[in-house]
Amino acid sequence: MFGYVIRRLLSICLTFFIVSMLLFVMMHAIPGGPFDATDMPLNEAAKAKILEKYGLDQPLYVQYLKYMWGVLHFDFGIPYQSPGETVLELLGRAWIPSLVLGGAGVLIGAPLGIALGLMAALRRNSWIDYLTSAIATIGFTIPVFVTSMLLILVFAVWLNWLPASGWGEPRKWILPIAAYSAIPMATYARYTRSAMLDTLNKPFVNVLRAKGLPEHKVIFQHVLRNSAIPMVTVFLPMFIGTATGSIFVEAMFRVPGLGAYFVSSIVTRDYPLEMALILMITVMFCFAYFLADVAYALLNPRIRLGGKGPK
């Protein structure tokens, strides 16, 4: 276990450096630069001065090494589009809408999905089972900006119940949260249903029923608990995926979150912000998968990490 943790951490570091290097090269390879004449008409001397200030006049590998040295000290630089604050301050500010909407989406979608999956597994081949499969399939396959568009058309344009876009008052949060909750709901409905069915077919359930245990105790104390392991482990990666915002949902509902800042950072060639956003999300995903694997091993003693244990 200890060796496994060390190896995984080293592998995360390797991934981090490869991703950072690829990104840095790719970002600078895009034609044009952040202080080009179209956006900011500057004379040569002023432009040279600015490039020098941000270190953009140096060779690429020097810029990369300097950047990585800063990252090791948690210094991600200054965003060009808002020079009055650091990248970390801007991210802290922009993350709030994404975290509120995405977090609420997961916290609402996941329990709903679990409930649906539970009912579907207990009433197999009933209407609720078919409804659950339909929701799971649609939630998985339809892109989130299509769901968002349909939500806006129905609830904002035709029924005129809710505002279509914006950020601020909680009434405006309802539609984006609904859009965000689609994927967690679909994921959990599917996982819960298949995990429950898997456990229900195990011999120990027959034993519990044969010894006369009430059905609700069989389901909630034994079957659900034994099916919970895969459900616990998918939570963290999914939470990261949703709570770091979606470019589409934020573009659709005009929410000033991380996704919106990512698009603007690409358009305005805001190198420090672009790097910080992708690296931050990449590292969070790495750790989410890592923790999910560790949690899986801790919850299920039959699993041996690292493939060294008895099969």
Q: Which residues bind another protein (CB under 8 A)?
A: 11, 14-15, 18-19, 23, 26-27, 29-30, 137-138, 140-143, 145-146, 149-150, 152-153, 157-158, 164, 244, 247-248, 251-252, 262-263, 266, 274, 277-278, 281-282, 285-286, 289
Q: Choose between 175 and 208: whose C-beta lies nearer to another protein.
A: 175
Question: What span, in angstroms and rounded, lies between the C-alpha atoms of 224 and 133?
Answer: 19
Question: What span, in angstroms and rounded, lies between the C-alpha atoms of 160 and 145?
Answer: 20
Kindly state the smallest distance separating residue 29's Cβ from another protein, in Å: 6
Question: What span, in angstroms and rounded, lies between the C-alpha atoms of 243 and 245?
Answer: 5
Question: What span, in angstroms and rounded, lies between the C-alpha atoms of 80 and 253?
Answer: 25
Kindly state the smallest distance separating residue 305's Cβ from another protein, in Å: 16
Q: Choose between 26 and 299: whose C-beta lies nearer to another protein.
A: 26
Kindly state the smallest distance separating residue 150's Cβ from another protein, in Å: 6
Kindly state the smallest distance separating residue 180's Cβ from another protein, in Å: 15
Q: Choose between 1 and 134: whose C-beta lies nearer to another protein.
A: 134
Whether the Cβ atoms of residue 292 and residue 237 lie closer than 8 Å to each other: yes
C-alpha separations of 229 from 33, 79, 179, 220, 236 in Å:
48, 42, 27, 14, 13
Question: What span, in angstroms and rounded, lies between the C-alpha atoms of 6 and 290?
Answer: 11
Q: Choose between 143 and 301: whose C-beta lies nearer to another protein.
A: 143
Kindly state the smallest distance separating residue 45's Cβ from another protein, in Å: 29
DSSP letter at 305 equals: G
Q: Choose between 200 and 266: whose C-beta lies nearer to another protein.
A: 266
